[in-house]
Structure 1
Amino acid sequence: MNDRQQSKSELAYQWIRERIRTREFEPGHRLVLSAIASELNVSTVPVREAIRQLEAEGQVTYEHNVGARVSTLNREVYFQTMETLAILEGYATALAVPHLTPTDLATAREFNDKMEALLDDFDAAAFTELNRQFHRVLFDRCPNRHLAEIVYTEWEKLDYLRVSTFRYIPDRAMESVAEHSRMLDLIAAGAEPSYLEAQMRDHRMNTMVKYRKKLDETDRLKDVDSFTKMSSN
């Protein structure tokens, strides 16, 4: 693929991905190559390449005799992404720790303080955005930029799958703030990066475990409710 074609493919990729991210293209939305190509004033070739890339990322699903559609929300994909992020972000943070400055730590504490201030009058969306900013401070100085970019990509995938996990498990927010504070104290005290890596990984996994438990409880309640309704008929 020449540079011009690659540039058009990247344009199409970014255009489609942004509409998936903002929910302009909802899960299940059919991606018509000719319509997108006409909108971007390109041929269908770069659009097809863009859709293939999005399919590889799990954001688009190809169905026989139907074509490409925006992937529907998939619970297991969410948990797999969380597990992946726990491992990658933990390592990226460990690599970044030796490069963090006192200003970085002060900025992270400021974000965490703002998160704590939201606990009494909880705003899940605002809390999630501050949480993202907090974590970004800790891993953004990772010298392995490729790894950092992968972490950013996994964050974006989580945004697509769920607007805010904390909306479903608001009681996890207080625990998360406390874990953030402890992590900052450990960094300031000069804890070993390998230990901090494990702490960050566990921090992520704790959220995932609590969310999975919440969903399982909800599913059981639905099953009981359905059984009760059938029994009463």
Structure 2
Amino acid sequence: MVPTSEPRRRGAQSKADTAYAHIKEQIERGAFEPYQRVLAAPIAAELGVSGVPVREAIQRLAAEGLLQIVHNVGARVAVIDDHAYRAGMEALAVLDGTATSLAAGQLGAADIERAEEINGSILSMLDDFDPALFEELNAEFHEVLYSACPNERILELARSEWKKFSSIRGPGAAVDLDRARESAEEHGELLELIRGSAPGAQIEQSARRHVLKSLEARTGHRSRLL
């Protein structure tokens, strides 16, 4: 029997996935500075793999906007400019507000309980504040609320924007403790609206305002959408 290359392809893909997850986690955790070069060789050595799956992972992350490929430089951590960051966050606010309001009537008791549990985790970690962990929990909280959106296209766009802005470096500072505490309070208010079957427009406004207040806290920019 002639051996096939399928096992090798599966193995290579698995290594690429491992490299992808590793590099992405380092970006999200702030281990790589803005504009810092991301070199395949040291990452490959750290993971005990060849450079091929690492380069594949770098290309995937570049396609997602987390890395930039620069001629004669290579891959580096992507940072979007002030205007693009503001515009993107405003788009996220609109999409998240719409998706959350449409999803509200579809959420069950278990979904709301899960969102409350995540927000409880945010409140619990404020005494030993970890900005990266906050970003992770915050994105997870919103995912629970909007994931039941019945409009598949709006859901796809909202999820894509959340994924991008949970990881990409913008011009503003990282979220601070005061904003994290305020965000957790706003989460609670949003859950109260959903639990009380508030009108969709009210839920949408609350969710949109929540994202825009984070934009203002990070950049000092007060959106006209507030």
Deviations 1:125-177 (A, max 9, x none): 333322222111101111233432333332332233249x8954210112111
Taking the TM superposition and a 5 Å limit, the aligned residue runs for 1:86-105 are: 86-105=93-112
Answer whether contact 2:66 2:168 (CA < 8 A) is retained: no
Letter in 2 for 1:70: R
Taking the TM superposition and a 5 Å limit, the aligned residue runs for 1:25-104 are: 26=32, 27-29=36-38, 39-40=51-52, 51=59, 57-64=64-71, 66=72, 68-76=74-82, 77-104=84-111
Provide the rounded CA distance (Å) in 2 between the counterparts of 1:153 and 1:185.
Answer: 26
Quick one: which of 12, 20, 25 aligns to 1:22? 25
Q: How far apart are residue 31 of structure 1 and its match?
A: 7.5
Q: 1:19 to 1:195 in 2, by over 3 A?
A: same
Q: 1:159 to 1:20 in 2, by over 3 A?
A: farther
Number of residue pairs the alignment of both structures matches? 197
Q: 1:178 to 1:166 in 2, by over 3 A?
A: farther
**TM-score for the superposition, normalised by structure 2:** 0.67
Q: How far apart are residue 212 of structure 1 and its match?
A: 0.6
Provide the rounded CA distance (Å) in 1 between the counterparts of 2:157 and 2:184.
Answer: 25
**Residue 137 (1) aligns with residue 141 (2):** no
Provide the rounded CA distance (Å) in 2 between the counterparts of 1:130 and 1:62.
Answer: 29
Quick one: which of 201, 205, 209 aligns to 1:198? 205
Provide the rounded CA distance (Å) in 1 between the counterparts of 2:155 and 2:167.
Answer: 19
* Corresponding residue for residue 156 of structure 1: 163
Provide the rounded CA distance (Å) in 1 between the counterparts of 2:69 and 2:121.
Answer: 42
Answer whether contact 1:99 1:141 (CA < 8 A) is retained: yes
Taking the TM superposition and a 5 Å limit, the aligned residue runs for 1:173-192 are: 173-192=180-199
* Corresponding residue for residue 219 of structure 1: none
Identity %, equivalent residues: 31
The CA RMSD measured in Å over matched residues stands at 3.8
**TM-score for the superposition, normalised by structure 1:** 0.65
Provide the rounded CA distance (Å) in 2 between the counterparts of 1:132 and 1:201.
Answer: 14
> Which runs of no fewer than 5 residues in structure 1 stay unpaired?
1-6, 215-233
Q: How far apart are residue 15 of structure 1 and its match?
A: 7.3
**What secondary structure does 2:68 align onto?**
strand
* Corresponding residue for residue 108 of structure 1: 115
* Corresponding residue for residue 210 of structure 1: 217
Letter in 2 for 1:97: A
> Which runs of no fewer than 5 residues in structure 2 stay unpaired?
1-8, 45-49, 222-226
**What secondary structure does 2:128 align onto?**
coil
Answer whether contact 1:92 1:139 (CA < 8 A) is retained: yes
